[in-house]
Structure 1
């Protein structure tokens, strides 16, 4: 059946192709005929134009060239015409033509012959340069016949075009008929050959698939069982390997006798795992006192289990800390054993001890620092009190004594001397007032308590600039004018005062700039100087030096108000100290 269907399809395709190829072969010359027919019209017009041009040429050389050109044109025109009329094997033109074309060519023949005759006569006259009057008549005759020839050729070209269109239409109809016949044959083959065969094949494939599914199910079940068995074996091997090489574990009897010990545990304890009938305490340590403690733990807790930390001495006489868990395991109804799992926590214990040691050392260091700071604070208070006492005794006290003696020595009878002494007393009173203000300013500036940190720092820089002759400037970059807690304000003031005094005393600076700025949560004060600077790391190592203690005092003081201080200094370039205080 399949062979018959295939042969039928093959015969249909071959016949359709033969018919199509025959029709295509018969149409091969149609486009060329239409092209040549159209070209004949162009050549007739070209011939006419060339003759008209020749009629007006007087130069003999140009006339000769034009005559040759006309001769070629008329030869080609004549060849094409006879090929269209009589057929041409070379060009593929058929000799047979329909009646309409035969009539058209018959009608055009007199005009064609006349144009040939007129052209030849005209060329002969031109070659001999005679009968110019006759040439004029020949040109007129040529124009009349050329017009008629063009009209007749248009009909011929149109007829060739209609003939080609009819062939194409016939070809299209033939192809549609062949397509319909082919589809009809395929439909019959589908209904009577392919469809019944397909049903049989589907039934066969369905039976094969069902059998395959049953076979696959059996194979999968077998494979799953086998894979599960292999996985179980692998898991047991992996678990055993992991326990042997990663865990410190062993199994012991309830009396403490070793049943099995892991490889890693035996290596840690330098114990031969093949030795039997050895007590667990003897495996852990060679020290008898430690063995008794371990045996007692096993005997007292072999039913409920135990967990804790043990410090033992190994055979290498090293201290070993173990986090030990003892778990009772029932093997059979009346048989049980203990599973021991340990973790080596020696390094953790050492780290804890080191942390405790460092904390103790840090506390002692802090206490020593506090003692030094307290002694320095007391020393500074004594120095400040002595300085204030000297200022009062040497300055204010002497000026008051002078004021007293000057008042007693005034003689009102001598008005001129009395006036001089009064002027002197006024000046002396002003100096006394200035001295009192300076002393009170160093103790607690009134601007700080009355107006806040901004006016106080502005006043501080102005007064120190006057007293020292150095350029000390203050900038409030963010226009901060808020009031803070009094403890915070006095500490900020003292920290800034200390930073400026250090720049004056130790840095050999000529310019000091104090800048205040703030954000929503932070107040920042920066003190810059152009002094000689210092090595911060070197100073921090020498904490007992004056500069080292100064940095330490600043750090301790700013911690009282939860602030931070930052030191930036480059030797021979200058120093920047920044105080950041939360607000």
Structure 2
């Protein structure tokens, strides 16, 4: 009973200390917040005060500047210079008036207060007549100077401006001093306020230490002493029980290790004589995708959903449950995949009249697949492979010869003949006949352009400079543009995903040749009028699609005709794309067109 009462008293004390602690923290936080708000307000006020003092000093400078400019204008005789001086004085006067009105009446945008102290209001009232006199005299002086009249009056106006200026400057000095005095008073008041807030904060901290931290520290020390005593008792009790539980713990560890090894390394299952599952290992259930908590399934139903296979397994269990059985089973899992199991069935006697079957399996699916693959490869026609390689080699050599002959014909028949014509035309120019010479020179210019175009076409077909300089994107765009010009077909290129990466040079040249081959096939065999080349990419795949509106073809028939030009063309595409670890997809519909897609890993 005493312990209960003491515990409730401790709880009440801690609650009280916690409330006081939160109150002290809240008070300090409010004090700090208020001090910061006050400091920020005073800082803003000081900024406004410093700006006002600066503007007041500027107002004195403007007054002096105005007087100097009036004196200068009074002695200027040049008309042009007089106009410039009048314009300058007007600007100075306008700025001076605006500044004075802002100081006198206040300005929110500049931070000038509208309300002023009685001293400042009185000083501005005293200075107003001098200010008005200077403004009126300067305005009248400028009008007279502008009209070149009343020179004698102008002298009086200048004298009035200078006299009032002296008084104005003296009064402005008093205003500036008053502004400075008031700013100093504000700073002094702020300093006193901050000292007061600091003293209040320190007082709060002192009270918190005396009435919160110190009592809390004493209670915590007592609590720690009790905890240490309880810890000693608990250690002694734990030592006594540790020896008793050590043997049991070791046994449990051994059982857990054995169970873990069986669950995660063996494909095993315990089956009743009637074929129902008693327990199935975790690894075995994962392989068969079976929920081990379902207890109404037979072993055959767990292994496979195929009824014929279930009948075979049930027959083996019924016939071999006393003698045991070992062999290979081919089953179909719930995904429709074929699995091969090396299964051993061992009868185990639990009690005198109770027995069960322990079934241990090994997954030999991969081994069986390897054996079947080896058998399939051994039964393939090796001669057909050799003949196919011979055809590919001969076609490669033939294509190389055809390409070399084509390039030679282009150079000989096109560029060669044009160069010969250029030579003869140059030799036949008669400089004495200027009219014919000019005509021949125009012809030679055109012929030179044709030669340049022919050379560019020949070199472009060999290796486009855009490919090595700027990459596959620029090269394919140039290829579509040039082939469109040469063939008259509408060939368009789109970079759908703004691909601009550089790839390995071998990959780029193979992509270029594959695309070139696909476009040439569409031009040569498909009778198409529109061809679209699209480039897109993801994080790991670069995809190039070539669509045409040609007559299309039967892909299966083309692949069967390996000796034909179309069949070999498809074969060459597949060989080349495999060389860079890519894939090609061909979709063609008779009468509608063909789509060829190249996917290359990047």
- TM category, shorter: 0.3 to 0.5
Larger Rg: 1
Tell me the TM-score normalised to structure 1 length: 0.40
